[in-house]
Amino acid sequence: MTENTVVTLQHPLVKHHLASLRDQQTPPRAFRGQIDRLSTLLAYEATKDLALAPATIETPLGETDGRVLSQRIGIVPILRAGLGMINPVLNLIPDAEVWHLGFYRDENTLQPVEYYKKLPPGDPVDVALILDPMLATGGSAVAAIEAVVNWGVTHVKLLAMIAAPEGVEAVQSRFPQTQLYVCEIDVGLNDQGFIIPGLGDAGDRMFNARAV
């Protein structure tokens, strides 16, 4: 594991909201609210090194020097749970592009199966923020990173609420330059590949609809 590319947020608000997110009694509406809050905190941390360019700003009272983002930012949610993380990141970066990747996990092999990929040919963004609440085995994350790297993106960040050590290791061994931002790294995986203690299935709880 390349420690300097793995950031575990230690902010008190992260711990507070994560406790509610884990609670099995938290209803879908409140669950989505906590996903929103934690996504904002993750995105704030993950965007600290974005490049800026000087700009001249006209205020109502005069002229001043400012700084504006100078890179194209791409938000890449992994369907379906990653959808719940889009809006809070867009609130921080309204001009970001949004592209989608869809994977489901084969319950026998625990390997990701791609069913949707919406990335344009050529003209990659400068920075890609891959969104997925849970980093379990790492299969979907690795497949998503591979997709954006093949697209031509050179600066990739993965944002997740909860990760298993196995998932972190899978990402870091395959793509050691990928920056990983998480709220918590849990104990590990059970025999079904779910994070323990985790929070259950993030997509099911977020959308109040159990996946078949």
Domain ranges for the chain:
3-207
What is the pTM (predicted TM-score) of this model? 0.92
DSSP 17: H
Give the span between the Cα atoms of 190 and 29, in whole angstroms: 27
How does pLDDT run across 147-182, given as a tens digit for each residue?
A: 999 999 999 999 999 999 999 999 999 999 999 999
| Phi, psi angle pair for 54, to nearest 5° | -70, 150
Confidence of residue 4 (pLDDT cuts 50, 70, 90): low
What is residue 185's predicted lDDT score, i.e. its pLDDT?
98
Q: What is the CA radius of gyration of the chain?
A: 18
Q: Is the Cβ–Cβ distance between 110 and 134 less than 8 Å?
A: no
Question: Which residues, listed in sequence order, are joined to residue 156 by a DSSP beta bridge?
Answer: 128
* CATH architecture of structural domain 3-207: 3-Layer(aba) Sandwich (3.40)
